[in-house]
A = this chain, B = another copy of it.
Amino acid sequence: MLYEINEKAIKLENEGKKIIKLNIGDPDLETPHEIVEAAYGAMKKGKTKYSSAYGEKNLREKLARVHGVSAKNVVITPGSKWGVFATMNLLLKDGGNVVIPTPYWTAYGLSAKAIGAEIRLLKTKMESKWRVDLEAFERLIDKNTRMVILNNPNNPTSKVMDDDRINGIVQIANEKRISVLSDEVYSDISFVETRSILDCEGDHVMVTGFSKMFNMTGWRIGYVVANREFIDRIAKLNQITFSNVPVFIQEAALKALEMHDELTKEIKSEYQKRANVACETLAKSGLEFTKPDAPFYVFPRRRGLDSERFALDLLDKGVAVAPGSSFGDYREHFRISLTAPRNDIATALDRICEAIG
């Protein structure tokens, strides 16, 4: 449903309608021009050829230094989404199941389905501040469980897991010998400290990307950090599918890393303001929600809401949001992505509150 709404929003835009798109996590903020210039410079230098399926040496080395690993533990992918798909494909294609705490990012479920893997959902609730129940997690694991997906900060709740909870999950995963796939795509711009899987015990997989950190969604570049053998297997899959991320895009990413501190600070500050604006309006309208710990989302609830119907009707009012059902069993919720200028967010929130009555 999430993707259907997005394709419909694009269609309406192509027909000339103005849609405030709060349905996907695509920042309105532009990619910084220094990054654009780095890509252009690389193109002009002829960096437009096939290259390594692992990614460029200089970028891998730089990322290795950031994460305190070897360059051999890093592979460049077309977005973090590819990292998720590739990891699931490699770990699950011969059977086995995956535990996914909900609410969860649509792509995890769709990928698992495309691979033919069994999904075991581990429900968390707003009432418990979206905390994972460790005992429930342990009960879901059986001899066919291969992995658990953590998404920290979480999409769609923008909640950050506390350290104890992560440690608890990792301890169970290690005992049961299952892999943690940790999607940390929002961690560098989180409003609060987040714990990386790379700082935990055990042999796990971290995926992340440049999209959210650097306003580079449409560039399609991310990376995976894992043990060397696993990185080799992903590179082999890269080689037979898309070959390599364009080198000029990797050069742009290298430039982005140079600007990391300055840029993430700016992004954090802007989204904190947007989150405050949104929370104020939502609170007034009587919607239930938890305050986001990170960009980009708020995931409010109205008892009795059919969010699919609501999202479709809202599209005709020029606002796109994502129905809660796209993230698991959350029909009464919907996700607002704060990826628009503050005045657009204010307009959209007014229309949302009006529509919800």
Q: What residues make up the interface of A, taking CB atoms closer than 8 Å to B?
A: 3, 7, 10, 14, 24, 26, 30-31, 33, 36, 39-40, 43-44, 46-54, 57, 78-79, 81-82, 85, 93, 107, 110-111, 114, 116, 215-220, 236-237, 239-249
Contacts and interface: CB of A to CB of B under 8 A. Distances in A.
Contacts of A247: 218
A315 to B, nearest CB: 16
Most buried by B among A46, A218, A244: A218
A78 B47 CA distance: 17
Contacts of A107: 240
A52 B5 CA distance: 11
B7 A52 contact: yes
Given A40-B43, A49-B218, A85 B240 contact: yes
A216 B39 contact: no
Contact of A242 (B10, B33, B52, B242): B242
Contact of A218 (B82, B217, B236, B246): B246
A81 B241 contact: yes
B31 A81 contact: no
A158 to B, nearest CB: 18
A31 B147 CA distance: 43
B50 A31 contact: no
Nearest to A113: B240
Contacts of A245: 220
A39 B39 CA distance: 10
Contacts of A24: 50
A313 to B, nearest CB: 23
A116 B94 CA distance: 9
A216 B48 contact: yes
Nearest to A49: B218
A353 to B, nearest CB: 27
Name the 9 nearest CB pairs between A and B, nearest first.
Answer: A78-B242, A49-B218, A110-B240, A48-B218, A31-B48, A26-B50, A40-B40, A36-B43, A85-B241
Nearest to A41: B40
A30 B45 CA distance: 9
Given A40-B40, A43-B36, A219 B246 contact: yes
B3 A53 contact: yes
Most buried by B among A7, A46, A51, A220: A220
A240 B81 contact: yes
